[in-house]
Structure 1
Amino acid sequence: MRPLALLLLAHLALLAAAPAAEAKGGGAGLDDDVLGLIVFKADVTDPDGRLTTWSEYDARACNWAGVTCDARTGRVSALSLAGFGLSGKLGRGLLRLEALQSLSLARNNLSGDVPADLARLPALQTLDLSGNAFAGAIPNGLFSRCRALRDVSLAGNAFSGDIPRDVAACATLASLNLSSNRLAGALPSDIWSLNALRTLDLSGNAVTGDLPVGISKMFNLRALNLRGNRLTGGLPDDIGDCPLLRSVDLGSNSLSGNLPESLRRLSTCTYLDLSSNEFTGSVPTWVGEMASLEVLDLSGNKFSGEIPGSIGGLMSLKELRLSGNGFTGGLPESIGGCKSLMHVDVSWNSLTGALPGWVFASAVQWVSVSENTLSGEVSVPANASSELRGVDLSNNVFSGVIPSEISKLQNLQMLNMSWNSFSGSIPPSILAMKSLEALDLTANRINGSIPAVIGGDSLKELRLGKNSLTGKIPPQIGNCSSLASLDLSRNNLTGTIPETIANLANLQTADLSRNQLTGGLPKNLSNLPHLLHFNISHNQLSGDLPPGSFFDTIPLSSVADNPGLCGAKLNSSCPGVLPKPIVLNPDSSTDPLSQTVPVPAGGPRHKKTILSISALVAIGAAVLIAVGVITITVLNLRVRTPGSHSAAVLELSDGYLSQSPTTDVNAGKLVMFGGGNPEFSASTHALLNKDCELGRGGFGTVYKTNLRDGQPVAIKKLTVSSLVKSQVEFEREVKMLGKLHHRNLVALKGYYWTPSLQLLIYEFVSGGNLHKLLHESSTTNCLSWKERFDIILGIARSLAHLHRHDIIHYNLKSSNILLDGSGEAKVGDYGLAKLLPMLDRYVLSSKVQSALGYMAPEFACRTVKITEKCDVYGFGVIILEILTGRTPVEYMEDDVIVLCDVVRGALDEGKVDECVDERLCGKFPPEEAIPIMKLGLVCTSQVPSNRPDMYEVVNILELIRCPQDSPETELG
């Protein structure tokens, strides 16, 4: 045994008795620091070798990684191991570090309990355990025994239960962060007695009940964050009596009532976010007295009345967000007096009147007034600002011509004037703007031709559909080198499609349907590398479709109603010259295609074999198919041989999936998050038996089994083993996924690893998946409107949670949405693409996005960044799927029906009743159904930047939901 190992064993009893020794005033030597850290190291796993400098032979620990010593005493004063990749338990070795002032173990994978005695370290001031996997209740006594604690962060773990009531006993606390856990129950009323507290963050939990009164006792409080809980009731009347309060975030709760007048006294408050609650009444004029405000967010509530003009007196205001309320009246001219204002969002209200001049003349950079009833003509003053970056005037009743003076806005990147009543022609100067990236003039009364000056290098999106444009598509459109989305549909355009459109190397979607275009299609269109959607239906085009894989697989609906088009795809032969037959000499030993074989006079007459080119192609195809079948058969036989890895795994003994010690080099590693009995009640062979199979997906097959304690679990056997990262990277990613906890996510409970087999262990969800419920269940097992709305909202909340933790789902579809016994949605299969060494979109397209219709257009484009907006697209499709009961894509005998097109057409024609699922239990409220359908269509926008964030989606859904008077309310 190593010399110090004996010493460690001898000191274990001392470690357990450390508090008692401290109480007796017993001193501690320098070796206690070394001893305590070595014992701490023995309790954790260090996969990255970050603690290799820690040696029991050293007299001091001052040169060890992450360790800082006091220059005067030589004692360990700080231990910073943040992001070291450690796992295991937090043992009692640290209790020997009596001079420790700062302890940071953030962003590791430590689990188990937190020793309550940590807070009793006499010098400890900072404790940061955030971003780990600690679970269970926060230990009793952690706060009541504190001595010098000032800053505590337990954020980003899995702590549950109530907020400890003894937290108020730690009078020295200046900062307390318990955010992003699973804490529930009411907020302790005596928490306000922490009068030294400067920062309190309890966001992202499930805290319930009303906010207790008495917050005015916290006269040192600077920042209060209770976002994302389930708080109810009104704001405390004395909330404005915290004189130093600078940041208040109470968003995404269920708070209600009017704003208390005491808020006006928060003269130093710079950030006030009350969004996504149920506040009512008018916004009082005294809000203009909160002179230090930089951000004011009241969006997603039920405020009414007019927007107070006193807001114009807030000289420090940078962001004003009032969307999704019931504000009426006009948009105050006084807001233009906010000299620092950069972002204004008053969309989704009932505002009337004209557009104030400050929209174009102030220092504001982004303005959205969409979804109101603003009217009149839009004019740009002579002193137009060069700061403006984006303007959204969509879905109002503006009229008149589009002012050419908009071109004075030299830095304008986005201009959306869609769904209004603008008339006249498009000013050429606007299309010539060098900075413009997106122009949307859809659904107006615009006439005339498309200006020939079009060709800005920055233009990525051009939407001119549903107008009365005439003339030809200008060939200069080929100069728009960045153009990704083009919509010229539903106009009166004539002439041919210009050849230059094939120069748009970044083009992803183009809609030229319902015009009067003639001629053929440019042959080079098939060379566009990123083209995903090309709709030319309902024109007068002729000739054959361009060659290439895109037009070989184009949906028939995209080329329909062009009588002159022909080709195999359209089941219509194109006129042309038939090829001459090739004469083959069966006696020739040379290439029959490289010479002419004469027939000697008087010689033997051989029968000539005549094969057409089409016959040769058919023969070649048959040979390729035969080779493919043989290859697949051989591979399948190899997989089934006893020597294959998977077969060997399946026949291992019952003890294979346990954590018992083994010397077998092929034995795997099983890790269960949060502890518990890791053994299964059946052998590995039984676990992965087809009788236990629940389903198959892009990443693998899912089986059901039970743990030894009877708890059912679902096990996913990954079928992308050849693509999976190394064990270290695999474990790091899986552990990160294991930390995600949300009521609408299927919980990842553990994993199993060998080089040839990886298993993921999930909670078992008993209610089946959404796809089967919508499309395969009987008519008696239907969903009500409320159930469908709850499922949509649950999915949205889970995606918002994933995106907040920088996790993209990548594989969102109805079969990956499970329902528990109470019908609540739980999203599964999230984040698994991160297990691959790199994001190969073509691998993912074939393996993961196997269900056609959910995949965002940019997913197949190598040059376009994959973001959370891909999930938003899939979510939009699922919204429409839930509301209509139809699959995203339906294949008819001679057509392909895309669900988005069906819903869009139903909305345009006012036939929502015909669009809603016939199997809906009961009736539905149109005032909810129509906005949700519109939201689904917005989420499935072809351009990612047009899709909302999932956080915004949740706010919109909560806003859409109409309160019902009683369960018996009759819904039309």
Structure 2
Amino acid sequence: MRSVVVCILVVLVLSRVVDVRSLNPSLNDDVLGLIVFKADIEDPDSKLASWNEDDDCPCNWVGVKCNPRSNRVTELALDGFSLSGHLGRGLLQLQSLRKLSLSNNNFTGSILPNLARLTNLRIVDLSGNGLSGHIPDDFFNQCGSLRVISLSGNHFSGQIPSSLASCSTLASVNFSSNQFSGPLPSGIWSLNGLSSLDLSDNLLEGDIPKGIQDLYNLRAIILQKNRFKGPLPDGIGDCLLLRRIDLSENSLSGNLPATMQKLTLCNYLSLRGNVFNGEVPYWIGEMKSLEALDISENKFSGALPPSLGNLQSLKTLNFSRNGFTGSLPESMINCLNLVELDFSQNSFAGSLPAWVFMASSQESLFSVNKMSGNTSQSLSSKNSHSELEVLDLSSNAFSGEIPTAVKSLSSLRSLNLSGNSLVGAVPSSFGEMKAMNVLDLSKNQFNGSIPLEIGGAISLKELRLANNFLTGKIPTSLQSCSLLQSLILSNNKLTGPIPAAMAKLTYLEYVDLSFNNLSGSLPKQLANLPNLMSFNISHNHLQGELPAGGFFNTISPSSVSSNPSLCGSAVNKSCPAVLPKPIVLNPNSSSDSSTGSLPPYLGHKKIILSISALIAISAAAVIVIGVIAITVLNLRVRSSTSRSAAAPTLSGGDEFSNSPTTDANSGKLVMFSGEPDFSTGAHALLNKDCELGRGGFGAVYRTVLGDGRPVAIKKLTVSSLVKSQDDFEREVKKLGKVRHHNLVALEGYYWTPSLQLLIYEFVSGGSLYKHLHEGLGGNSLSWNERFNVIIGMAKSLAHLHQMNIIHYNLKSSNILLDSSGEPKVADFGLARLLPMLDRYVLSSKIQSALGYMAPEFACRTVKITEKCDVYGFGILVLEVVTGKQPVEYMEDDVVVLCDMVRGALEEGRVEECVDAKLKGSFPAEEAIPVMKLGLICTSQVPSNRPDMAEVVNILELIRCPSEGQEELV
């Protein structure tokens, strides 16, 4: 359709050109070119509304500038217009164009092969789009007067064209953030007018070729994030105008060439993440304009030269992760502008120099070295004017006490002294440091009690005092630290109860009080902490019942172990006030029901059934009854359908009217964005070949809109169960407002009294069921792909629950994967279209999901809530990890997935449950906690299942573990 429109449009424009070509042929070439260019693109925000083919001159159009004398188009700047589509040949009509800037749009496809041959073109900026493919090797053969070209932030691949070397007028080249590969073109250093070269974030490889010294105008060379190797060419020091050098994250090696000392104008030098070796040369002090120097993550060694003190303009210095030794040079006291310095993870020795506390310093990192000395001298009152915000001296050999005068560092936000040999009491003066966010004194030899004054540090987010010799009680004053997120006090000698005031710390996420001598009962109010993710109280003397609700419903047994007097489900010990679980005798037993035990001489064993077994039996009975009922219902539906032959059907596009009428001869079509033409695809609904599948709510077909976009259309069945038109439209419009990248978007609907359609986005990758059980795509899903599916499902359900929508119909066939493997949950909220949420009707509609249905569907006295979705999600998690279906029928047995995994967990062989297709390529530290989380979600008691928001947090913890994280079960 578009091609027809374009052809008609071109003919119309050309006819106008013929009429007036004798008056001004060049002018109309520009109008024609721009209109043809517009016809090839999408303009969702109507930014190009002023572009009218009836105009004789385009000079007043948005984004267009002309030469005032000739009225020829010289500039086309459409940056950030949200345009999409291909770059059409209409641009080649603009023969006087000097600047083409189309950055930060959504253009796709390849680059115009003759674009660089516009002889007047000076600037080309196509950055921040989705352009792809190889650039033809002859692309720059006739590049005219091109001075600036930027293709950054696209998907170009292949080698950089060798013809680039023929563009002698080029001053700036930016090909960053693409997928270019291969070596640098051999002639690139012949562009002696080049002032800026940015090829960062690509796949370029090989040595940096010699000859760079010919670029005497070069100001910036940025080659970071590639695969370059070998030494730096000596000629780099002859580029005397260089101001910025970034060669980080490559595999460059060898010593730094001595010619670099001539780069006296250079203010930024980053060699981070290579394999350079040797010592830092003394001549580094000659580069006196340096403001940022980063040589971290290399193999440099030896002592630092005192000439570093000559770099008086230096603001940022990073020498971390090398093999440096010796003391830090005292000459650096001359670097008065130094703001950030990082010497961590080396082998520096000696004491902490005084210049660390210079007035301008804000961040000083010295962790993991061999530095020593008495901190009481370093952290003294003479530093009262320091602006230091971050100080990390962790994992060294510092000793002595922390002086009270530490409060003079009033700007300090983070202080890490962990892993040293510090002694004495924790200074009460920390309470006066109002800006402090992080205080880490763990792994030292501190004694005494935690000062009450610590509550004065009202900005504290992390307090870490683990592995010391602290005694006394946990101060109740901590309740004043209302922003506290992490409280780590493990491995001390603390006594007394856990203060109830801790329940006021609503931001708490991680708490570790393990290996202390705490006693008393846990405050019930702790269950109200909304953000709690880990709470470890193991190896104490706590007693009584664990708090009920919230995080404590899923707390790991290892987090509460070795507290003999604690009771509750997590420690598998009933509390005195809680009745034990009932024991039910096997009805086939021959014992007397009044005795409760069998006489030993009868030789029969007493058989008991657990509550979960009874529920399973009940659920099986419901399944049988449901199957019979749905069979009867389907027979009735078929008979009623056969009697309704006069009901309107979709033939061609006649019923797809945008009219609001709803009589039997005219349907109502509503699209939530736009008004596409269905005339080319409506017939597909009656075409069996286009059917994608069938479910409890209807069949799904693939069709194509008039604009070429595929959609999935669900044709609802059992119309007698659908709500009235008003109710139907109200509920569908609510579902249409639900948007999340892990949910299949509802794009519109169609209504007649006898036919209802739901129009969804089309997801091309197939269902999760087919990927897991039918081998769709040929290759089995990897562990990373499975984990991404799980967390994507969790996020989508959390979003639904936040909008008070229950899915009701979770199953692997309702989880679709897009072309990049991203999961999209389908069929959410369709139960809202039923006149009432009757359990029989609902269970019959989604009988294929019975393996995923929560046990409360079998019990009318239990309310159906979001926890039903949590149960179904738990089954899905186990299905994704194990590759097995929720219920599998063998020749003489039925295997229930969650029971199989739970049994394997109890026997210590849970790893055997992981899908054999992964063949040991899964990380056990992720797979096992994920399976345990799945089991927690399938708890028989709804209140014991976590919320989906909590599930998302737990999954993110499993993928990105933090200190204090414990196993889930």
Q: TM-score range by the shorter chain?
A: 0.5 to 0.7
Q: Distance between the aligned counterparts of 1:245 and 1:844, measured in 2?
A: 60
Whole-Å separation in 2 of the counterparts to 1:848 and 1:667: 37
Alignment of structure 1 residues 599-748 onto 2, 5 Å: 663-664=679-680
Counterpart of 1:133 in structure 2 is 130
Q: Which SS does the other structure have where 1:405 is aligned?
A: helix
Q: 1:131 to 1:773 in 2, by over 3 A?
A: closer
Partner of 1:8: 10
Using a 3 Å threshold, how does the CA distance of structure 1 residues 141 and 578 change in structure 2: closer, same or farther?
closer
- Offset, 1:418: 1.1
Deviations 1:802-845 (A, max 9, x none): xxxxxxxxxxxxxxxxxxxxxxxxx9656989xx9xxxx99999
- In the other structure, the counterpart of 1:348 is 345
1:36 maps to what in 2? 33
Aligned 8 A contact 1:485 1:942 in 2: no
2:349–2:369 Cα contact (<8 Å) kept: yes
Point out the more displaced range, 512-521 or 47-56.
Answer: 47-56
Residue in 2 that maps onto 1:404: 404
Partner residue in 1 for 2:903: none
Provide, for residues 64-122 of structure 1, a one-character-per-residue CA deviation record: whole Å limited to 9, x for no partner. 22222333433222111222232222121112222222111122232333223222223
Cα distance change, pair 636–294 in 1 and its aligned pair in 2 (3 A): farther
Question: 1:511 matched to which residue of 2?
Answer: 512
The CA deviation at 1:404 is 2.5
What does residue 927 of structure 2 align with?
A: 887
SS at match of 1:238: helix
1:567 aligns with 2:568: yes
CA–CA distance in structure 2, aligned partners of residues 844 and 268 of structure 1: 63
Cross-structure match for 2:369: 372
User: Counterpart in 1 of 2:426?
Assistant: 426
Whether 1:758 aligns to 2:774 is no
Query: What residue is the counterpart of 2:897 in the other structure?
Result: none
Match of 2:472 in 1: 471
Q: Distance in 2 between matches of 1:363 and 1:733?
A: 53
Q: How far apart, CA to CA, are the structure 1 residues paired with 2:5 and 2:694? A: 50
Tell me if structure 2 keeps the 8 A contact 1:666–1:754.
no
Count of equivalent residues: 706
Distance in 1, matches of 2:169 and 2:404, equals 63
The change in CA–CA distance for 1:195 and 1:761 in structure 2 (over 3 A counts) is farther
Compared CA separation, residues 2 and 191, structure 1 to 2 (3 A): closer
Partner of 2:601: none
CA pair 754-202 structure 1, distance change in 2 beyond 3 A: farther
Q: Residues 283 and 401 from structure 1, CA distance in 2 versus in 1: closer, same or farther, beyond 3 angstroms?
A: same
Question: For 2:422 and 2:341, how far apart are their aligned partners in 1?
Answer: 23
TM-score (norm 2): 0.64
Aligned to 1:483: 484
Superimposed CA distance per residue, residues 884-922 of structure 1 (whole angstroms, 9 cap, x where no aligned partner): 6773428899x99xxxxxxxxxxxxxxxxxxxxxxxxxx
Q: Please state if 1:435 is matched with 2:445.
A: no
Which segment drifts farther, 311-320 or 3-12? Answer: 3-12
Q: CA deviation at 1:417?
A: 1.0
User: Do the aligned partners of 2:323 and 2:346 also contact (CA within 8 Å) in 1?
Assistant: yes
CA distance in 2, matches of 1:938, 1:570: 26
**2:393 is aligned with 1:393:** yes
Residues of 1 paired with 2:293 and 2:823: CA distance? 34
Flag the 1:167–1:632 CA change in 2: closer, same or farther, 3 A.
farther
Contiguous gaps of at least 5 residues in structure 1: 16-20, 580-616, 645-650, 654-659, 670-681, 691-714, 735-752, 776-826, 855-877, 897-935, 945-972
After superposition, the C-alpha distances for 1:251-280 in whole angstroms (9 at most, x for unaligned) are 111111100001111111111111111111
Once the 2 structures are TM-superposed, how far is the Cα of residue 212 of structure 1 from its aligned partner? Answer: 0.9
1:493 aligns with 2:483: no
1:313 equivalent to 2:314? Answer no
After superposition, the Cα gap between the structure-2 partners of 1:421 and 1:846, relative to the gap in structure 1 and judged at 3 Å, is farther
Deviations along 1:167-194, one digit per CA (max 9) or x if unpaired, are 1111111111111111111111211111
Secondary structure, aligned partner of 2:187: helix
8 Å contact kept, 2:213–2:238:
yes
**Using a 3 Å threshold, how does the CA distance of structure 1 residues 186 and 552 change in structure 2: closer, same or farther?**
closer
Residue identity opposite 2:10 in structure 1? L
Q: Which amino acid aligns with 1:73?
A: S
CA contact (8 A) 1:652 1:684 kept: no
User: In structure 1, the residue corresponding to 2:517 is in which secondary structure?
Assistant: coil
1:168 partnered with 2:172: no
Corresponding residue of 2:227: 230
2:454 counterpart residue number: 454
Determine the C-alpha separation between the residues in 2 that align with 1:845 and 1:265.
66
* 42-51 vs 477-486, which moves further: 42-51
Aligned twin of 2:552: 551
Q: Does the CA contact (< 8 Å) of 1:774 and 1:882 recur in 2?
A: no
Contact kept, 8 Å, 2:271 with 2:295, in 1: the verdict is yes
Partners of 2:158 and 2:619 lie apart in 1 by 61
Q: 1:726 to 1:60 in 2, by over 3 A?
A: farther
Give the 3-state SS of the residue equivalent to 1:415 in structure 2: strand
Q: Residues 728 and 10 of structure 1: is their aligned pair in 2 closer, same or farther, counting only changes over 3 Å?
A: farther
Q: Aligned letter for 2:445?
A: R
Amino acid at match of 1:435: A
Q: Deviations over 1:931-956 (max 9, x none)?
A: xxxxx999522599xxxxxxxxxxxx
Contact kept, 8 Å, 2:275 with 2:298, in 1: the verdict is yes
Q: How does 1:102-181 map to 2 (within 5 A)?
A: 102-181=99-178
**Where does residue 268 of structure 1 map in the other structure?**
265
How many angstroms does 1:661 deviate by? Answer: 10
Percentage of matched positions with identical amino acids: 44
The 2-side partners of 1:634 and 1:429 are apart by 75
Cα displacement (A) at 1:564: 1.5
CA distance in 1, matches of 2:133, 2:735: 32
CA distance in 2: counterparts of 1:114 and 1:733, whole angstroms: 32
The answer as to whether partners of 2:13 and 2:53 remain within 8 angstroms in 1 is no
**SS in structure 2 opposite 1:262?**
helix
TM-aligned CA deviation for residue 851 of structure 1? 5.7
Q: What letter corresponds to residue 383 of structure 1 in structure 2?
A: K
Alignment partners' CA distance in 2, 1:490 and 1:314: 45
Separation in 1 of the partners of 2:47 and 2:634? 40
Which string of whole-angstrom CA distances, capped at 9 and with x for unpartnered residues, describes residues 263-312 of structure 1?
A: 11111111111111111111101111101111111111111111222112
Q: Distance in 1 between matches of 2:563 and 2:532?
A: 21
Distance, in Å, in 2 between the alignment partners of 1:828 and 1:8 is: 37
Contact 2:785 2:821 in 1 (8 A): no
3-state DSSP class of the match of 1:887? helix
Render the CA deviation track for 1:367-388: whole Å, top value 9, x for unaligned. 1111212222222243314310
Q: Does 1:249 align with 2:246?
A: yes
Alpha-carbon separation, structure 1, partners of 2:450 and 2:323: 38
Give distance in 1, aligned partners of 2:462 and 2:215.
51
**CA RMSD after TM alignment:** 5.0
- Could you tell me which residue of structure 1 aligns to residue 951 of structure 2? none
How high is the TM-score relative to the length of structure 1? 0.64
SS at match of 1:756: strand
What secondary structure sits across from 1:207 in the alignment?
strand
Q: 1:628 to 1:143 in 2, by over 3 A?
A: farther
Q: What's the counterpart of residue 71 of structure 1?
A: 68
Q: 1:769–1:729: structure 2 CA closer, same or farther, 3 Å change rule? A: closer
Residues 407, 757 of structure 1: alpha-carbon distance in 2 compared, 3 angstrom cutoff: same
Task: Give distance in 2, aligned partners of 1:635 and 1:940.
Answer: 48
CA pair 351-832 structure 1, distance change in 2 beyond 3 A = farther
Alpha-carbon displacement from aligned partner over 1:847-885 (angstroms, at most 9, x marks no partner): 999869x9xxxxxxxxxxxxxxxxxxxxxxx9x996767
Deviation at 1:505, TM superposition (A): 1.4
Distance 1:192 1:943, change over 3 A: farther
Asked if structure 2 preserves the Cα contact closer than 8 Å seen for 1:365 and 1:387, the reply is: yes
Aligned match of 2:92: 95
2:744, 2:239 → 1: CA distance? 43
Unaligned runs of 5+ residues in structure 2 are 581-610, 642-649, 653-675, 696-711, 715-731, 746-756, 788-818, 829-865, 881-917, 937-956
Relative distance call for 1:938 and 1:335 in structure 2 (3 A) is farther
How far 1:332 sits from its partner (Å)?
Answer: 2.1
Q: Say if 2:513 and 2:538, in contact at 8 Å, map to a contact too.
A: yes
The one-letter amino acid paired with 1:887 is: A
